[in-house]
Structure 1
Amino acid sequence: MNNLEELKEQIIKNVEQLNEEVVIELAKKALEVGIEPLSLLEIINEGMNKVGILYEKKDYYIADLIMAGIIFKEVLALDKMTMHFQNEYSKKVGKVVLGTVQGDIHDIGKDIFKGMLETNGFKVIDLGVDVSKESFTKVIIENTPDIVALSGVLTYTIEPMKEIVDNLVEAGIRDQVKVIIGANHITKDTCKYIGADGFANDASAGTKICLEWMNEQGVVDDEKSSIR
């Protein structure tokens, strides 16, 4: 195994184990030896996915998810990461209105998705958590985004998601935006029931979908995308 591959595996392992200080030092080393910021982001995300699996198995708790989110944000805040993304994406590729739907106050998955969207050149309007259909619709009308992203960790958020999409139909603006929904419990059938255009069970997959939608409009440069 070469040194870069070993470094990658060490980063993934330490993200999974929530070793905050070790991850930051390894991330700095990765950038110093030439790993691109976008590639580093994907490596961190692999570790985040492993944390999510441990949470689903009930080996990790909500506090562990919060710590994983903190680690992700700290890597994004490294000087070489912020410098790269500020220079690389001075022109935004698209606008996303994002929020956790009414009845749910979980924001970790939403925040990770927001970070990945922003590092891929999107402008993100984050409405926070427990957001009503009326608030979503109002902000969408005022800001004319390309994409609306609905997050919800709890299974009963399916209905609030559907109500938001239905409200966009009633307001006559549904055909003006793409709607993506994100949560571990979402399936193809659930997505169809809600009336969304797409769904994702993790931030990386969701970002890829958003980039593909913008690419269809001729906006995204595939060479600059962090998602392959």
Structure 2
Amino acid sequence: MGLTLYPAIDLKAGQVVRLKRGDMREATVYSADPAAQARLFAGAGFRWLHVVDLDGAFAGRPANASAVQAILAATPGLPVQLGGGIRSMGAVEGWLDQGVKRVILGSAALKDPQFALAACRAWPGQIAVGIDARGGMVATEGWADISTMTAGDLARRFEDAGAAAIIYTDIDRDGMLGGVNLEATLALARSVRVPVIASGGVASLNDLASLTAVTGEGIEGVIIGRALYDGRIDPAKALALVSAAPAKG
């Protein structure tokens, strides 16, 4: 399998936005209609959607449920991975029952590991662990708090729990279009047996080419946000690039 591209739909107050370095005060609104944005990505040929409830991530509970439900209704058959404020088994089960393909647990993976591990075991292959890092250290609560745990140490906790993927975000690069942190992402992918999805800083087709070149080393996919919305990455060219890449064994 080649590199999977995950176009990002970040939700704030029911709108599609992009942040800079996770700062809610630095939000650029790209669409007032998340469902329409989802249909655009589906029509472009993407095979997944990456949806984040930003308000939920900060509040610790879902805050954009109606927008998420509209996305699910607008793109039947297109798998969605969803994160942001999902902190209980009931919340996980509720979203999976509504059609979310994969639930992302972020802050909970660090702050409530027993819950996160239990969710991975209860729904094997349907839970992704979101690890957001600044300077290699895990950040939580919508990136507002920096912990004393390294990204690698947290990832290794979930190796044998049935997690579908580790989503690794370099906060300092997120929304900044400065290029993906390939070195840190690759180091994490090489250190764990769980597939890694890169996130943060993707700015050009060159970033996708660099990631495609190392898919055989544990990097399964990449999340693309601002570069798609700003037109720096053309969806057709991006999808053609990863589909043309030779399969890695």
TM-score of Structure 1 vs Structure 2, range by shorter chain? 0.3 to 0.5
Q: Which has the higher contact order (CA 8 A, sep 6+)?
A: 2
Q: Report the TM-score, using the length of structure 2 for normalisation.
A: 0.38
Q: Report the TM-score, using the length of structure 1 for normalisation.
A: 0.40
Q: Which has the higher helix share?
A: 1
Q: Which has the larger radius of gyration?
A: 1
